[in-house]
Amino acid sequence: MKDGEAAPESDRAEGAPHPRETAGLFGQARAERELLDAYRAGRLHHAWLIGGLAGTGKATLAWRFARFLLANPDPAAGAVRDAADLRVPPDHPAARQAAAGAPGDVAVLRRGWNDKTGKFFSDIRVDEVRKMSGLFQQASRAGGYRICIIDTAEDLNTNSANALLKLVEEPPSRSLFLMLAHHPAQVMPTLRSRCRKLALDPLGPADAVAALRALGAPWSTIEPATLDEAVRRAGNSVSGTLPYLGGERLSLDGDTARLLARLPEVDWAGLHRLADRIGSDEDDFAVLTGAILDWLHERLRAGSGGARRLAPLAEVWEKVRRSARDTLALNLDKKTFLFSTFADLAQATRAL
């Protein structure tokens, strides 16, 4: 990073607008209505665990709600009573402040940038929670809620989760914690138990395509057939689709699928070729790990024989998720990750 340059943001997909800059929300009208109804009824819980698959709009919804609260600090006001959704006009001061990344009453907890390694940290550190807690020790600038968005709660380590728990257990008045989680069951149980749960619906293909088009160029100019195929491969995940839309990544996904289909037999020569294709490209690596995790998810979802029989696959799923993140954060060898993962997959599938 150059002097004066802003640090990269771990909650931003490369080349795409940040969720705080994204006005449109697709396919989540039910969840949006639940937040709006709770606010204007005067029963807004102070901590929400917003769960859903990656790329379904959790962060977009959280920022949309934060903007609405900043723009409408009085839940009894007519604008809140008459609102059909959480939309805030883009020229409203709250929307402009959020887009600029400087809404004074909103803090974000996410994996920070490590200047020494030139990578993101692999988890949310306790120092970040302590720094964020300063927001709740001062009065709200707008006279409404002070809001913390945690993206994602699974990234909290034991120390940072416990530090956040202290805030959530005894929240100052008019405090709101919006915790996002791809897999809510992995959030620390004591923290999870303090939250009201809000599960987002999976997106359909039409909503995913519409959300991608709404991001603007270059996503809005992609050929329909190419975009439809990328969305299908990504399981209708908006953020998951982005890595497919460049180079030969759709064919990379197909080659990975063919290697997975041969399990428990491992095509080591094919793995060598796949590793050479990936090189150091992080988007290619995202496509590879996404294909593996999707493959595991489908087998766990469709599997039979009970939890005990499926346990080896579940363990590999968790190991792959953690190892992939550490490989990027610590700049580890991607070929080693690939070979180790397929060895684990082969062992797990032989046990089925």
Q: What are the structural domain ranges in the chain?
A: 19-199, 246-350
Instruction: Give 210's strand partners.
Output: none
DSSP 117: T
10 Å Cβ neighbour count for 314?
15
Provide the 8-state DSSP code for 201: P
pLDDT recorded at residue 20: 92
Q: Which two tokens stand for residue 159?
A: 């120390």
Q: How far apart are CA 165 and CA 170, in angstroms?
A: 9
pLDDT at residue 35, as a whole number:
98
Q: For helices 268-278 and 334-350, what crossing angle results, to 10°? A: 140
User: Which of 1, 25, 55 lies closest to 234, judged by CA?
Assistant: 55
Per-residue pLDDT of 278-330, as tens digits, reads 877 788 888 899 889 888 988 887 766 566 778 888 899 889 988 998 888 78
Residue 51 has which token pair?
A: 């769960």
CA pair distance 309, 282, nearest whole angstrom: 34
CA distance 244 to 227: 9
Residue 235: which region, alpha, beta or left (left: phi > 0; alpha: psi -120 to 50)? left
Give the whole-angstrom CA distance, residue 62 versus residue 48. Answer: 10
| Burial (Cβ within 10 Å: 0-12, 13-18, ≥19) of residue 118 | exposed
Q: What is the pLDDT of residues 2-51, one digit of tens each?
A: 555 678 899 988 778 999 999 899 999 999 999 999 999 999 999 999 99
d(CA 344, CA 337): 11
Q: Please provide the CATH number assigned to the domain covering 19-199.
A: 3.40.50.300
Q: Which residues of the chain have pLDDT under 70?
A: 1-5, 102, 247, 303-307
- H-run or E-run covering 289: helix 282-302
* Residue 301: predicted pLDDT: 79
CB within 8 Å of 247: residues ≥ 6 apart: 284
Predicted local distance difference test score (pLDDT) of residue 345: 95
pLDDT of amino acid 97: 86
DSSP class of residue 166 equals H
Question: How far apart are the C-alpha atoms of 345 and 347, rounded to whole Å?
Answer: 5
Give the contacts of 165 (CB within 8 A, at least 6 positions apart).
188, 190, 191, 194
Q: Two tokens at 69?
A: 């609260």
Are the beta carbons of 109 and 148 closer than 8 angstroms? Answer: yes
